[in-house]
């Protein structure tokens, strides 16, 4: 007769511990915010369960470590649970994301029940002599809905089996007389007890989702009993309940009070983000997507996150748009891309499809909105084309292997696609393709390449090419900006650009000058460009990622990593240079006007600045340049001035820079040093527009250059401001606003 020997009901609903019901033992729940570093501490994430409450495992920090089961071996066993996965993982090192385990595969001992790639799942046991596995045989677990799973080990009947929602879906023959030898391992829930590690910080192979009514029996439950256990819940509740949307998604409220997490910049609800991309306007809404790992704040198995806005400033979280899928073009990752309108005016997404089973493992995939079929106006559903639409072309000068980040636009009846890649001479380049139907693409030319020996800092690979019209020069010539982000050995990972003309006849870009230019001089804080022409205003708008530059341990502790910069408008200046400014809609975030001064002394300006203690501000400062050697603003300054970040323009050296030597007293911080870039200002007035958003700092100068950086002071009172001037000048104007958050 089978006895229930362990049962976690997860009915507590609050607190940092859960009770195992049979032995009446309490077990601590490991969770990153039990003892938070940057925000108030908070409990693990409890939700409504299939019966009572349940526990939401966050995918990277939530786990329960228990003492091993008391017997040394089990001649038979059954595990059952209700699960609702939030997302699946790559399966690093070939290991399962453990739901529950107490095993050592190398020693052939213990047991493991867990989930693998794309929702496949398995039960595995060690008999002391061999390691046995049974897999789901084509019955993967669906995300975001409740499933009853059971695993049975029964040598007496000669099998081990899996059950899904009361039905046997897989079985494996085993030797009669086998036993599960448990060994000396602890029993762990939600975490593989021998995980693949990223630099000894992040444990991969962890469960991500809801877990309820986890039970272990010392015998093999019969198929009818398992069916009854599933059916009982279904009968009591009439149907297996749907999970409320907000119960499973990443929740911004988890991070409330984080003193470093931006409030009005583009940022996902949690976990990992790299570059935002594929902006598009549809049916009155702006959409932006972003590279996202829903498992935790680290780069790994990339999905497409999704945000929507009425104004490019206030954002609402949407369901994940694209997920790596088995049997599709992207089983190993959905990487960066762009958006365009198809032949019916409906949005289509071009993405870098990752498939490690082929070489190159990068190709262009296409997903179409289902709007034409179901009226999905918010673009929550996408249908992928079942094969790659663009493969890297051989024999045209490209180095085979790196081929990613498609940027697509349409002119007349033809679509154009730029893809970042490498050149055989060792430098980066971008390849241009054309299509009349979005499916069949023809290689045309290498869009542009530079002399790699002359500009080695442009690296061996160009990522994220962006090509946008920005206006006409005085002769009426239409001008374009071409943006790239170089990566690879020797690359300066920034956003470089050229202004030039589009030679459509020869499918190439012709720059006005050979030397690449920088938009931002903040050194690795302004990267990963994407852009589009806003159909409402005809503006060229660009998005970027702002690297967090924290250690992996700091990102683990925070629970989030990276965010976007402010949306920028690029335009052609009267002098032929590139104009750079935050989009006008940013003004809608302004709250209280804290300072509004004209024609006052620096002393008077500092008297009022000293009254402001905040790191959520917009500051506009205008000064006469004539007798100034250097002017700067110290921000995030502690009362004793031991911590501060100083941004400045040095007129005598024509330099825009930031001094971060005193940014933080944290000895491990990466946000230190002096960063500078060339900026020639011909105007009589110096105009500074400065944005502070917690750890984010962005400075825009005369709409010519920007400087993006970050600051993580240790002192929570590092909120002061001070204007500093070397030379003689008065303040022409000084305006300061407090800024509201961008998320509701």
In the 3-class helix/strand/coil scheme, how is 634-676 assigned residue by residue?
A: EEEECCCCCCCEEEEEECCCCEEEEECCCCCCCCCCCCCCEEE
Pick from 204, 191, 8, 7: which is nearest to 98 by CA? 191
- Whole-angstrom Cα distance, residue 258 to residue 33? 11
Over residues 423-443, the mean pLDDT reads: 97
- Whole-angstrom Cα distance, residue 208 to residue 250? 11
Question: Phi/psi class of residue 333: alpha, beta or left (left: φ > 0; alpha: ψ in -120 to 50)?
Answer: left
Judge whether residue 81 has pLDDT over 90: yes
User: What sign for the dihedral angle of Cα 642, 647, 650, 651?
Assistant: negative
What pLDDT is stored for residue 45 in this prediction? Answer: 98
Pick from 586, 584, 496: which is nearest to 544 by CA? 496
- Whole-angstrom Cα distance, residue 89 to residue 143? 12
What pLDDT is stored for residue 113 in this prediction? Answer: 98
Strands, DSSP E only, in 558-614? 560-561, 563-564, 568-572, 578-582, 590-600
Beta bridge partners of 139: none
Q: Cβ neighbours of residue 584 under 8 Å, at least 6 residues apart?
A: 569
What pLDDT is stored for residue 238 in this prediction? Answer: 85
Judge whether residue 523 has pLDDT over 90: no
Q: Give the count of beta carbons closer than 10 Å to the beta carbon of residue 417.
A: 27
List, for residues 251-263, the tens digit of each pLDDT value: 999 999 999 999 9
In the 3-class helix/strand/coil scheme, how is 200-262 assigned residue by residue?
A: CCEECCECEEEEEEEEEECCCCCHHHHHHHHHHHHHHCCCCCCCCHHHHCCCHHHHCCCCCCC
Tokens (6 digits) for 240:
């297996």
Over residues 518-530, the mean pLDDT reads: 94
Is the separation of the CB atoms in 462 and 420 below 8 Å? yes
Judge whether residue 483 has pLDDT over 90: yes
What pLDDT is stored for residue 170 in this prediction? Answer: 98
What pLDDT is stored for residue 671 in this prediction? Answer: 86
| Average pLDDT along the chain | 96
What pLDDT is stored for residue 148 in this prediction? Answer: 98
List, for residues 144-170, the tens digit of each pLDDT value: 999 999 999 999 999 999 999 999 999
- Whole-angstrom Cα distance, residue 473 to residue 470? 10
Tokens (6 digits) for 322:
């694209």
CA 743 remoteness from chain centre: 17
Alpha-carbon distance values, 296 to 212, 262, 269, 275, 336 (Å)? 21, 18, 12, 16, 19
Beta bridge partners of 475: none
- Tell me what percent of the residues of the chain surpass a pLDDT of 90: 95
Judge whether residue 97 has pLDDT over 80: yes
- Whole-angstrom Cα distance, residue 128 to residue 179? 8
Q: Which residue has the tokens 């470590």?
A: 65
What pLDDT is stored for residue 68 in this prediction? Answer: 82
List, for residues 348-382, the tens digit of each pLDDT value: 999 999 999 999 999 999 999 999 999 999 999 99
What pLDDT is stored for residue 645 in this prediction? Answer: 98
DSSP H stretches of helix in 399-486: none
- Whole-angstrom Cα distance, residue 5 to residue 2? 9
- Tell me what percent of the residues of the chain surpass a pLDDT of 70: 100
- The DSSP symbol for 520 reads B
List, for residues 4-52, the tens digit of each pLDDT value: 999 999 999 999 999 999 999 999 999 999 999 999 999 999 999 998 9
Judge whether residue 122 has pLDDT over 80: yes
Phi, psi of 303 (to 5 degrees): -115, 175
List, for residues 694-741, the tens digit of each pLDDT value: 999 999 999 999 999 999 999 999 999 999 999 999 899 999 999 999
Tokens (6 digits) for 490:
């020797």
- Whole-angstrom Cα distance, residue 238 to residue 233? 8
The full set of domains in the chain, from first to last, is 66-237 (2.60.120.200), 278-582 (2.115.10.20), 590-739 (2.60.120.560)
Q: How confident is the model at residue 744 (pLDDT cuts 50, 70, 90)?
A: confident
List, for residues 39-54, the tens digit of each pLDDT value: 999 999 999 999 899 9
| pTM, full prediction | 0.96
User: What sign for the dihedral angle of Cα 384, 390, 392, 398?
Assistant: negative
Over residues 224-238, the mean pLDDT reads: 92
Over residues 453-470, the mean pLDDT reads: 98
Beta bridge partners of 340: 348
Judge whether residue 347 has pLDDT over 90: yes
- Whole-angstrom Cα distance, residue 511 to residue 338? 23
What pLDDT is stored for residue 612 in this prediction? Answer: 98
What pLDDT is stored for residue 541 in this prediction? Answer: 98
Burial of 434 by CB count in 10 Å (0-12 exposed, 13-18 middle, 19+ buried)? middle
Burial of 244 by CB count in 10 Å (0-12 exposed, 13-18 middle, 19+ buried)? exposed
Q: How confident is the model at residue 1 (pLDDT cuts 50, 70, 90)?
A: confident
Pick from 289, 192, 260, 167: which is nearest to 560 by CA? 260
Count Cβ neighbours within 10 Å for each residue of 218-234 and write b for 16 or more, e otherwise.
bbbbeeebbbebbeebe
What pLDDT is stored for residue 78 in this prediction? Answer: 98
Q: How confident is the model at residue 281 (pLDDT cuts 50, 70, 90)?
A: very high
Q: Give the count of beta carbons closer than 10 Å to the beta carbon of residue 472.
A: 11
What pLDDT is stored for residue 361 in this prediction? Answer: 96
Judge whether residue 69 has pLDDT over 90: no
Over residues 68-79, the mean pLDDT reads: 91
Helix, strand, coil % in the chain, rounded to nearest 5:
10, 50, 45
List, for residues 579-604, the tens digit of each pLDDT value: 999 999 999 999 999 999 999 999 99
What pLDDT is stored for residue 183 in this prediction? Answer: 84
What pLDDT is stored for residue 67 in this prediction? Answer: 85
Count Cβ neighbours within 10 Å for each residue of 144-162 and write b for 16 or more, e otherwise.
bebbbbbbbbbbeeebbbb
Pick from 313, 265, 250: which is nearest to 285 by CA? 313
List, for residues 173-196, the tens digit of each pLDDT value: 999 999 999 988 899 999 999 999
CA 463 remoteness from chain centre: 17
What pLDDT is stored for residue 89 in this prediction? Answer: 87
Over residues 465-492, the mean pLDDT reads: 97
């Amino acid at each position: 007769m089978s006895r229930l020997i362990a049962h976690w009901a997860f009915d507590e609903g609050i607190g940092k511990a859960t009770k195992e019901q049979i032995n009446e033992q309490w077990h601590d729940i490991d969770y990153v915010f039990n003892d938070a570093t940057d925000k108030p501490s908070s409990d693990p994430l409890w939700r409504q369960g299939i019966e009572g409450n349940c526990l939401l495992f966050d995918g990277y920090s939530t786990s329960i470590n228990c003492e091993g089961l008391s017997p040394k071996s089990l001649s038979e066993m059954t595990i059952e649970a209700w699960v609702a996965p939030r997302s699946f993982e790559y399966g690093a090192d070939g290991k399962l994301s453990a739901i529950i385990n107490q095993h050592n595969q190398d020693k052939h001992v213990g047991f493991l029940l867990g989930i693998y790639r794309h929702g496949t799942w398995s039960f595995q046991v060690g008999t002391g002599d061999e390691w046995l596995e049974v897999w789901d045989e084509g019955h993967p677990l669906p995300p975001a809905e409740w499933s009853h799973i059971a695993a049975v080990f029964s040598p007496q009947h000669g099998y081990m089996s899996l059950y899904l929602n009361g039905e046997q879906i897989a079985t494996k023959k085993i030797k009669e007389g086998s036993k599960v030898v448990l060994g000396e391992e602890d029993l762990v829930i939600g975490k593989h007890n021998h995980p693949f590690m990223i630099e000894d910080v992040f444990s991969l192979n962890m469960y991500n989702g809801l877990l309820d009514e986890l039970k272990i029996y010392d015998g093999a439950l019969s198929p009818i009993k398992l069916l009854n256990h599933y059916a009982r819940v279904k009968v009591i509740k009439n149907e297996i309940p749907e999970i409320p949307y907000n119960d499973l998604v990443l929740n911004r409220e988890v991070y409330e009070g984080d003193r470093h997490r931006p409030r009005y910049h583009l940022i996902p609800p949690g976990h990992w983000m790299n570059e935002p991309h594929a902006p598009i306007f549809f049916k009155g809404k702006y959409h932006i997507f972003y590279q996202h790992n829903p498992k935790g704040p680290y780069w790994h198995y990339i999905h497409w996150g999704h945000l929507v806005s009425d104004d490019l400033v206030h954002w609402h979280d949407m369901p994940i748009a694209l997920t790596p899928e088995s049997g599709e073009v992207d089983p190993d990752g959905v990487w960066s891309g762009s958006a365009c309108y198809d032949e019916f005016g409906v949005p289509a997404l071009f993405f870098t499809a990752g498939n490690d089973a082929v070489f190159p493992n990068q190709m262009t995939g296409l997903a179409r909105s289902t709007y034409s079929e179901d009226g999905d106006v918010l673009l929550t559903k996408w249908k992928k084309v079942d094969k790659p639409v663009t493969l890297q072309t051989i024999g045209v000068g490209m180095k085979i292997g790196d081929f990613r980040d498609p940027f697509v636009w349409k002119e007349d009846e033809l679509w154009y696609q730029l893809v970042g890649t490498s050149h055989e001479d060792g430098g980066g380049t971008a390849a241009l393709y054309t299509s009349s139907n979005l499916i069949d693409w023809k290689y045309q030319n290498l869009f542009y390449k530079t002399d790699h020996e002359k500009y080695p800092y442009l690296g061996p690979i160009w990522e994220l090419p962006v090509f946008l019209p920005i206006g006409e020069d005085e002769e009426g010539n239409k001008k374009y900006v071409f943006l790239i982000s170089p990566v690879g050995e020797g690359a300066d990972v920034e956003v470089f650009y050229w202004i030039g003309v589009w030679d459509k006849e020869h499918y190439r870009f012709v720059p006005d000058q050979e030397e690449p230019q920088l938009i931002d001089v903040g050194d690795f804080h302004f990267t990963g460009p994407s852009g589009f022409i806003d159909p409402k205003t005809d503006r060229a708008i660009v998005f970027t990622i702002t690297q967090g530059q924290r250690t992996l341990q700091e990102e683990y502790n925070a629970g989030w990593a990276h965010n976007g910069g402010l949306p920028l408008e690029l335009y052609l200046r009267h002098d032929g240079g590139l104009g750079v400014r935050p989009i006008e809609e940013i003004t809608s975030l302004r709250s209280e006007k804290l300072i509004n001064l004209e024609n006052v002394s620096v002393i008077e300006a500092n008297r009022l600045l000293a009254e402001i203690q905040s790191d959520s501000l917009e500051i506009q400062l205008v000064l006469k340049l004539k007798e100034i050697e250097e002017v700067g603003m110290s921000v995030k300054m502690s009362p004793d001035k031991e911590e501060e970040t100083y941004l400045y323009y040095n007129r005598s050296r024509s330099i825009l820079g930031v001094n971060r030597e005193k940014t933080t007293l944290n000895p491990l911080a990466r946000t230190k040093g002096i960063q500078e870039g060339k900026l020639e200002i011909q105007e009589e007035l110096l105009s500074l527009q400065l944005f502070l958003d917690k750890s984010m700092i962005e400075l825009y100068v005369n709409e010519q250059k920007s400087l993006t950086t970050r600051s993580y002071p240790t002192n929570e009172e590092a909120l002061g401001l001070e204007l500093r001037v070397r030379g003689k000048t008065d303040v022409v104007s000084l305006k300061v606003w407090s800024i509201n958050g961008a998320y509701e």
